Each structure stands twice: as structure tokens, then as C-alpha cells.
Amino acid sequence: MHFEELWTHCESLSKDSIKDQVTSILIDEIMMKLKLYQILDSKTEMPSEELQSAKSRTLGEILWALTKLSLKDNINVFEALGSAFQFHSISHYNQKYPT
């Protein structure tokens, strides 16, 4: 399965559950999961394999929450990421190859 297909499937699974949710609740969910990731990143006492697994699972949950947000707000994530890539690549290449 391609990433785009996976994203679309995730959006489809959330279709019914987000009908009555407001965007701010979805954003709060994303922020909470980002905070959890930040806490995990600061854990030095966890074995590295466990930490990697927890971070991977948490990042998956962040992406899942982002699929709900993109569906709720009808955002074309391919286009949005492409636009961000274009913006950042210009800055990257300007720094790498100054004129």
C-alpha cells in the first residue's frame, strides 16, 4: 500500500467519529500527543529499543490525529506538503548555493 492510500484509509475510518467534533478538539489531541512525544524524547532511563518503539507508536498516533484534522478541514495533504517542500527547498538551496 502506498502512503497516500494509507492516509486515505485512515481518513475514511475516522469519517463518522469526527462529524460533530470541532477542529480545536482535534488540535488539542495533536498537541497532547506531541507533548507525549516530547516527554518520551527526554527519557534517558528507558532501554533504547523500548524508547524507539514508544516513539514510533506515538508518532503513528500523531499522524492518525493529523488524518482526522485533514479530513475535518478538507485539506489536500499532498498539495499542502508539496507547497511546504517547495518553500523550504528554496531556502535550503539558497543557503547551500549562495549567489
* pLDDT score of 99: 65
Q: Is residue 96 part of a domain?
A: no
Q: Is residue 57 part of a domain?
A: yes
Q: Is residue 7 part of a domain?
A: yes
Range of the domain at 27: 3-74
Q: Is residue 80 part of a domain?
A: no
Alpha helices in 3-97 (DSSP H): 3-14, 23-41, 48-72, 77-96
Q: Is residue 23 part of a domain?
A: yes
Residue for cell digits 460533530?
A: 20
Cell of 82: 508539496
In tens, the pLDDT along 52-73 reads 999 999 999 999 999 999 999 9
To the nearest whole number, what is the mean pLDDT of the chain?
93
- Tell me what percent of the residues of the chain surpass a pLDDT of 90: 82
Give the total number of structural domains in the chain.
1
Q: Is residue 59 part of a domain?
A: yes
